[in-house]
Copies of this chain bind each other. A is one copy, B any other.
Amino acid sequence: MADPRVRHFQEELEHLMARLLEMGGLAEEHVRVAVQALVDRDVRLIDKVLGGDAAINRLHVEIDDRCVKLLALHQPMAVDLRSIIAAVKINSDLERVGDLAVNIAEAVRRYLQHPPGRELTDIPGMADLAQGMLRDALDAFVRRDIELAQHVLNEDDALDALKTDMFRDLLSSMLADSATIEPSLDLILISRHLERIGDHATNVAEDVIFMVSAKDVRHQGI
């Protein structure tokens, strides 16, 4: 039978992973709801995002605490140590995604003060892409899947391209019709927030590669 101390560590590590996934799920849900508020022009959804941020912040503190305790009590080595370091970083990234969902919600609130316009945008497309990157990056972390992490890094170019297209279209509409300046500005800011969510997913993917490939280097006896 396994050493109970080792078994206990593995259980605690799995618990940590589960909490990180829970936090990732919450952050992703907030982004989804904030964008839904824009699509449905539904201000009640904005309050849902703003009201839900405290839960993410509580998880942020709890996960940091779990990481420090795991390091202090079990003094893990090699890939276990790197997994916990990665968890600390990923925890910060997910908290920022929660903040960005709040920023999106605030921009949506301003945007909805204007009558419906015909600004060309693909905010839902950008949001889908960014959320998918975040989900894949967290899956890659839990499964220590370096190929999936690499896939996330590749997706980032597509997100940047969508942002650049949107920016050009929105700028054209602002130049053509000054009534669209204010709402277009908010859409530009929302697209930047979504781009940053993609950046956080990229950070997570990079942490996965760092975690796994450092293990490989050690396996080569360096």
- Flag whether A1 is at the interface (Cβ < 8 A): no
Closest to A61 in B: B210
Give the 7 A-B residue pairs with the shortest CB-CB distance, closest first.
Answer: A75-B75, A174-B181, A72-B81, A72-B77, A88-B88, A89-B92, A175-B181
- Flag whether A71 is at the interface (Cβ < 8 A): yes
Complex interface: chain B residues within 8 A of A181 (CB): 171, 174-175, 181
- Minimum Cβ distance to chain B for residue A130 (Å): 17
Give complex CA distance A185, B170 in Å.
11
- Flag whether A45 is at the interface (Cβ < 8 A): no
Copies in the complex: 2
Q: Is the interface of A mostly helix, strand, loop or mixed?
A: helix
Complex interface: chain B residues within 8 A of A189 (CB): 192
- Minimum Cβ distance to chain B for residue A173 (Å): 11
B85–A71 contact, CB under 8 A? yes
Please pick, from B85, B171, B175, B203, the residue contacting A68 in the complex, using a CB distance under 8 A. B85
- Flag whether A188 is at the interface (Cβ < 8 A): yes
Complex interface: chain B residues within 8 A of A85 (CB): 64, 67-68, 71, 88
Please pick, from B75, B92, B182, B192, the residue contacting A171 in the complex, using a CB distance under 8 A. B182
Give complex CA distance A68, B211 in Å.
11
* Chain A positions near chain B (C-beta within 8 angstroms): 64, 67-68, 71-72, 75, 77-78, 81-82, 85, 88-89, 92, 171, 174-175, 178, 181-182, 185, 188-189, 192, 203, 210, 214
A64–B210 contact, CB under 8 A? yes
Given contacts A64-B210, A85-B71, A85-B88, contact A185 B182 (CB under 8 A): no
Closest to A196 in B: B196
Complex interface: chain B residues within 8 A of A174 (CB): 174, 178, 181
Please pick, from B68, B82, B171, B188, the residue contacting A81 in the complex, using a CB distance under 8 A. B68
Q: Besides A68-B81, A175-B182, 19 other CB < 8 A contacts?
A: A64-B85, A64-B210, A67-B85, A68-B82, A68-B85, A68-B214, A71-B71, A72-B81, A88-B89, A89-B89, A92-B92, A92-B203, A171-B182, A171-B185, A174-B174, A174-B178, A174-B181, A175-B178, A175-B181
